[in-house]
Structure 1
Amino acid sequence: MAGSQSFFELFLLFSIFDLNLGKYAEVILGDPFTFPQDECKTESRLVKTLGQDITRSVAVGRNSTWTPDDYYRDRVNQDSSVTFSRTVFTDTGTYELTCDDDDKFTVIQLKIVPLYEPWVKEGEEVKLMCNYDCPGKDVKSVKWTKDGKLVLEHNFTSDENKYGTRSKEGKVSVSPNGFKEGDLSLTMRGAQEEDAGDYICSVHTGEGQNGKDESVTAVRVTVINRSVDHTTDSTEQPLNPDAPKEKQMETWLVVLITAALMLLVLAPVFTLFGWWLKSRRSSVSSLPGYQDVP
């Protein structure tokens, strides 16, 4: 799916935001990610914050070359930049980029967004999973987009839905108990081929200038066309017109082989039975007073 891949690349490109306290980036789980960097005259360091006054070294830069720490060596190469060749879920967190020769200090917030890839047969219903702690994070609304375009936005405060140009009421919906249960999944009914694509579930938290959007889940939907699904097509004709004749010949061949095997098994039995009758007749004929009946 070249189109889907290019969309996610654009999603990654436009998901790096400059904030007052540093940079914020959202990356699809498994995709590569390159950290933004500042030019340092001497030595630079990139660390991940694990807790209060606890950090883990990611890489050290000297002479325009970054050397990864052993912990990240399987996913970060020695290069002119720090790049995760593939992101894992535990990469989510806060990173700090510092320069030893001056007071340059950059904070990078990295969010890893999980990707799900469900498939559905044309005309059937599919549920695009998305879960979030709504009460705990003061979520105001949930928004589903497809390839960057609105599908459905639900406002929890007003309990109103806003539909995209290609979606309508009854086609898509979210759970009425979504806020309470943290279930923001999108239910899509009567799936069609044009419904295939990449969907993003995002939430809006806070109000006014304090509000922000956060992507929670990415879902790549595949719709199977029933016209090419022959698993339940009772009218499908055999591709080989001679198939019935070949099947009949195979049946007769099985019958002949079975008969031959039965003959080989029963022949010794009948031979022994004949010998037993002959010997018994000889024994009876030798008894006194025995006389054959003409």
Structure 2
Amino acid sequence: MCDINQKAFSQGIKTYFAIVNTPYTFPGNGSSCERAEWRKKSSPTDATIATYQNKICLIEKGFRGEFSCNVKENHLLLNSAKYTDSGPYEFVCNGKKKALILDVLYAVNVHKAEMDNITLSCHAANANDVTWLYNDEKVLHYTKDGTIIPGKGYEGRVSLEKNCLKTGDLSLTITGVHKTDAGLYRCFVHDETTKGYPHTYLLHVNEKRSSPGDQTDSNCNEAHIFGIIFGTLLVILIVEVVIYLLYCLTSKLLKDQSTSATTTYHVAKSADDTTDNGSELCNTSPKNERQSMDGHPVQVSDTTENKPSTTRPFFNPSERGL
């Protein structure tokens, strides 16, 4: 692999990388060409992998299953990269050639939580400099005179071991990793022409998990919030019950007062009626009584017939023969 990178660097050919056992899409869009070809440069002769013409992409018989065409954009797709797929390739569009080199890498998978620190190991002997790349962007470049040039976004967050070139320990340390730091990291020496070992890391950044103490605090906070909500609802319920009871009590009192007032009124009215009747009886005059007597003759009792009369009768001369 060192030979591939050195040859690409010396010839000015751009190197692309793929991770072993993962898909890879080659550069070069066939839809922009009347006729296009993808070729693999190998000895003794080049091999055509696929052709594109009249809007049809066709994979050659010997490469079917290993390669396929991206129908939407008409790119060449390597279905699952293998080490044997490393090497030079060529894309030809309307007779114009573009060379490239594919480097198939084995990446060490690393998992870290957000804001954790991480150290990616790399070693090389007799190195004059070291360069770490994130995908195709520079993370850090360190020269023999001790100059450190961090990449954009990594200022103050990346560092190397002391006397790294002397000891051959070119390990990179990243402090406080971010979600955006996830991706492929590669270690190079000698102006990116030679790989360090291990060379490639695939960093996965996970969301930071709460510690047991944090989890306890979180549970306490949730319980506190629940207690506040429950207490508030209980107070509201009590207030509503009190208001309802007061309403019922007030309604009952008003009803009782209304009933009492009605009863008092009827009693008073009955008393007034009785008084009026008595007054009429008391105000009956003797004149009226006499009128009653005159109008209705008094009946003499029959018992006087049986009593002897004490009244002396008048003298009747006829009875004496006078």
TM-score band, normalised by the shorter chain? 0.3 to 0.5
- Greater helix share, structure number: 2
Name the TM-score, length of structure 2 as normaliser.
0.45
* Structure of higher CA gyration radius: 2
- Greater strand share, structure number: 1
